[in-house]
Amino acid sequence: MRRIISLVIIVLLCASAVGCAAFSEPAGIETSASPTVSFSAPDPTPTPSPSPSPTPDDGRTTIAPGFYFKPLDDEIKARITGLSYPEDAQDNITYDDLNVVNILHYNFEGEICFGELIVAADLAPEVTEIFYQLYLAEYPLTSVILIDEFGGSEGDRASMTANNTSAFNYRLVAGTDKLSNHALGRAIDINPMMNPYVKGSHVSPKNGEPYADRSVIQPGMIDKNDLCYQLFTEHGWTWGGDWKSMKDYQHFEKE
Ligand SMILES: [Zn+2]
């Protein structure tokens, strides 16, 4: 029964490319016909086994219901081209170098949301696994939406201001002519408004200023006791909060 409910949740969430659904308990499959989506809380233990099981249709590899990665198809190429993937990006990264990761996550209202990220193909399995572990722990993320929904590279600031978690974005490191690891799908920014970039008195995004003070850590803020920090560093990623000349608390990367 729980499996069926879980599948219904995923179908409902996937029907709208981006969406969240409140849940209440108890709820059964019969409630799915009502206009309000209700379902029981997910089982905190991972079922079925998260071992990868490829399915042939669109090249996806599923590690758990709602958690899979796959090559970029024509639909997603159309969504990113000219935005996070400008015409000149192909000199440094091809579509084949990237994968799209589909996940579920909790938001700060306790709703389960559909999310997607574009990352380097070789990092996609571990990124899917990390977000699966965050989901099992009900780790709050405001949204996990492609930066293209905010206008691509120009939308970077809007995405950060919206506290949106994202990865691939073909751009330079701010203030330099060096490609960012985001441009290669090798960096992820988590809850960026609550985990801002801080250099001296400069805080980005602007509405992240209250979170520049890291002496009080709330859920969704990253420090060394945080689950994000633990999961990413276990997989060999480095954290921008460990940098010396500036702090980028939202940022994890793996070269
Ligand atoms: Zn970053």
pLDDT digits (tens, 9 = 90+) for 208-228: 999 999 999 999 999 999 999
Distance from residue 32's CA to the centre of ligand 1 (Å): 38
Strand partners, 98: 120
DSSP per position, 172-224? BPTTSSSBPGGGGT-EEE-STTTS-EEETTEEESGGGGGGS-TTS--TT---T
Among 5-19, 54-68, 177-191, 221-235, the least confident range: 5-19
Closest CA to 249 of 200, 194, 207: 194
Averaged confidence pLDDT in the chain? 85
pLDDT tens for 3-53 read: 554 555 554 554 444 678 765 433 333 333 333 333 444 454 445 555 555
Residue 118: is its pLDDT beyond 70? yes
Distance from residue 252's CA to the centre of ligand 1 (Å): 7
Distance from residue 35's CA to the centre of ligand 1 (Å): 38
Strands 187-189 vs 112-120: parallel, antiparallel or unpaired = unpaired
Task: Determine the residue type at 172.
Answer: L
Neighbours of ion ligand 1 (CB under 5 A): 187, 189, 251
Question: What is the Cα 238 distance to its own chain's centre?
Answer: 17
Task: Determine the residue type at 120.
Answer: A
pLDDT of residue 83: 93
Distance from residue 56's CA to the centre of ligand 1 (Å): 33
Distance from residue 37's CA to the centre of ligand 1 (Å): 34
Q: What gap in Å lies between CA 225 and CA 248, rounded to an integer?
A: 17
User: Where in the chain are the domains?
Assistant: 48-253
Distance from residue 71's CA to the centre of ligand 1 (Å): 22
